[in-house]
Chain A
Amino acid sequence: MSATVAAETAGRATPSLWRRLPSSPVAMVGLGIVVFWVALAIAAPVLPMPLPNAQDYKAMGHPFGSAAHWLGVDPLGRDLLSRIVWGGRTVLEIAPIAVVIAYAVGCAMGLLAGYYKGWVDAAISRASDVILSFPVVVLYVILIANIGPSPVNIVVAVVLASAPGIARIVRGLVLSLMPQEFVAAAYLRRESDLFVMLVELLPNCRGPLITDFCLRLGYTTITIGTLGFLGLGLPPPNPDWGGMVREATSMITVFPHMSLYPTIALVSLILGFNLLADGITELSQAD
């Protein structure tokens, strides 16, 4: 009899999301852009270009692209290409760290709220609502203006602003998973609350969270750029895309390339994250 039952296996294995990624052109374009920036950021120290803070006084007279400075120099004679590459390094360090920490905090909040319901849920959800009721930019400005601009503080601000949104997604998913019978089955095995939350519930939140993770990397990139532009980013002279745009805006009519190149860099990285998120959504809906 077991031979016939073996033939019963109805469905087929679907390969994991990452292996199916090549089948989505959108996701591949997004991934390509992101990988491009990551590669540049990693290779920055060995690339044959001037240091980002080195000033070339001779180039200041003619700040456009040349053999020595491919993309030209900024108002202080610093190499634009170098500053963009090193600026990308900052963004690609701060954004993932901030988002990962935001995820840890947000998932914990969402799991607790959705699992225990009652007053735990009320407390977490109301606190989240308070934070979410602020326009994001206003929230950042208030926070950074008070705690001062630094990489750590940017991470703190991003975590504080993103965790409630993540918590809300996780809470909704947990609420829809709780009535499922595999949760009751876990109780009948005498599993602890923590086990049910982390092993039975959290892995099933994966799908929507992967997409949100990519999108949130994009938002965080925007945030870092915005803070830089508002003068609340990394303290000078560190290269920072938002800061570069700000420093060059007064000369935008004379030397548009000084603000244009960092803007293109910023836009392309955000686009990369968003396309990747779109592609993943498309793949998970095709299941």
Chain B
Amino acid sequence: MSLLSIRDLRVEYTTARGTVAAIQDLSLEIGKGESFGLVGESGCGKSTLIMAIMGYMGRNGRVANGEILFEGQNLVRATAAELRRVRGGRIAIVYQEPATALNPSMTIGRQLMEVPIAHANASAASARGQVARVLADVHLPDPDSVMRRYPHQLSGGQKQRVVIAMALLANPALLLLDEPTTGLDVTVEAAVLDLLNELREKYGTALFYISHNLGVIAQVCDRIAVMYAGRLVEDAPAAEIFATPRHPYTRGLLGSLPRPGANKRTHPLVSIPGVVPSAGRAPTSCGFLTRCALAQPGLCDVSPISLDEIATGHLVRCLRWQDAAEPVDRPTAAHLVLADSDVVVQARDMTREFHVGRRRLLANDRLTLAAKRGHVLAIVGESGSGKSTFAKVLAGLDVATGGTLHVLGDDVATRPVRKRGAEKVVAVQMVFQNPDGTLNPSHPVGYPLTRALRKFGIATDRKTIDARVAALFEMVRLPPSLRHALPRQLSGGQKQRIAIARAFAGNPEILVADEPVSALDVSVQAAVINLLLHIQAEQRTTLVFISHDLGLVRYLADEVVVMYLGQVMESGPVAALFDPPYHPYTEALLSAVPVPDPMIRTARIRLEGEIPSPLNVTPGCRFATRCPRKLGPVCDDTPPPVRDAGHDHLIHCHIPLERLRQTEPVFRHAS
């Protein structure tokens, strides 16, 4: 018998616009100890499903049809008292944001002890013992000291471990995970995913894992279902989803993720056009109709489509799944022949020092790097590595305290925007991370463009400005009529497009993009990246791309700089960087990348702990405290030598180049 069995579920919400079905015709089974993944873009109804299972639908939501059987009990009809026993006891949940899942005014110990006390009537002493054991199981060092601490004294990754520990305390049969690693650093994410796999074996808990990222799901789940517009569109064993995806939507999601080995020249990303329709607005026949390349009038738009079993255990809701077997048609990218061009950005020993009380904090420590005209230079590292500080200094929003930074021939290291002169400011523009903060909520979205055109002296009369704004909107594939809309009327992807249009308004020579897509959904990410690369290649703009996502960097970069705690660890052309020899830090970052393909085996190199405070650095290698290949005291005491692996590939490490060359590659095809 299966553990959780959902049959013909329909969830409705009453809104001002009438009744809206957020989930329709949904059936699924999760067996004991099974690990089940549910993917889809935001707005597909994934979280609604979790809320329906837990019975938290708010006043305006209700289960209109179907049943949710958990251990034989129908949760839809359960009384409040029955639900209370199940929630937190037999079914536990881990939410996306660990910071808000914990009560900031209670110590970790007291919060966790509530679970056994409430669910098992445990005594305080035995509860304390259980909590200490579970905290050790989630690999939190020194559980006793963690129990005495408050949530704000823990890092994001530690908090998520505490939340997982809390969920496991009641020894649940089913653990619901709603994007538990979104917002964590890649290395931390990899460690949390390892932990989930380990705990699943140890406790025999079934996992129901929700994510928009197929790469993450691939690490944890045996079976994967894809959800779109409130319905399941495909449900199959994990290996089959990746090897033979049958639904066009699944294929779209896979196509929008960079795979290992793929790059912008050979395998451009494919985005799914359009966005998820809001609940209840999808076509009733096939929900994906409006965005599907295979949609056939007279066939797909006639009547609702059923979820059919096309092979054992492989269900697809598509009439044309056989046609979807063709290899994904990838468009050819704008080809840019990389000539050996001149250097437009050159940092030499650039340093940005802050003072924290009496102590010195080196956000950038003797940074040396270069970007060539028309190339994409990616700067990678965990949060706290100083990459955003460099971006700010380059754009003139901050100044360096030492060294030089030459932009188009002039040293601008200590010259902020105000002291740079008009030409230099126009030449270096920036796209920011957060789509919500990037546009002024009080002004129409066309306003920053008109203003930039005026300030940069590109156009002065209204007619020319209007024409230029329209052209910029066309360039980022938005209808020019949108220029009068207010930012809150736009989706995140649209806001980022406007931000890109704004940055290109003055035809900059250098564009700094600070994590421009990390806040966007995967399918939208692909569209924005493609757009950015297209314009960049067309205008031969130098792109300085700041990211923590090595998968993405491998896809789009020409040169890469890996940073850790304000220093460069490794730099070189992208082709050289992703094969041995690696810097041990690069190797660890690579092995943490979630790979959306179960056929690729990734070496497991996990870093201990998290990036330390830049206030406590050793005179030697910054990475020595977490390095899995540390040689000995020499790493702590002596700054590492720069090893030249040829072709501008530089590795800052004490390990001799020969030994670095012998490293096993991180990615291997399982055959």
Contact = CB atoms under 8 A, between A and B. Distances in A.
Interface string B404-434: 0000000000000110001001000110111
Contacts of B278: 10
B491 A10 contact: yes
A180 B495 CA distance: 14
A203 B432 contact: no
Contact of A2 (B397, B440, B478): B478
Contact of A185 (B438, B482, B485): B438
B273 A203 contact: no
Interface in A186-204: 187-191, 200, 203-204
Nearest to A1: B477
A181 B494 contact: no
B442 interface: yes
13 contacts: A2-B477, A7-B275, A9-B491, A10-B275, A10-B489, A11-B489, A180-B437, A181-B434, A182-B440, A188-B430, A203-B440, A204-B440, A204-B442
Nearest to A191: B455
B395 A188 contact: yes
B477 A188 contact: no
Interface string A201-216: 0011010000000000
Contact of A5 (B456, B479, B502): B479
Contacts of B600: none
Interface in A4-39: 4-14
A13 to B, nearest CB: 6
Contacts of A1: 273, 477
B528 to A, nearest CB: 12
Closest 7 A/B residue pairs (Cβ): A203-B442, A181-B432, A181-B437, A10-B491, A180-B437, A182-B440, A11-B489
A13 B445 CA distance: 13
Contacts of A181: 432-434, 437-438
A189 B451 contact: yes
Chain A interface size band reads: 20 to 34
Contact of A187 (B397, B433, B474, B490): B397
B273 A12 contact: no
Interface in A217-256: none
Interface in B507-534: none
A184 interface: yes
B493 interface: yes
Contacts of A11: 488-491
Contacts of A7: 274-275, 290
Nearest to B448: A185
Contacts of B490: 9-11
Nearest to B506: A189
Contacts of A9: 482, 485, 489-491, 494
Contacts of B274: 4-5, 7-8
A184 B486 contact: no
Contacts of B561: none
Nearest to B291: A4
A9 to B, nearest CB: 6
Contacts of B477: 1-2, 5
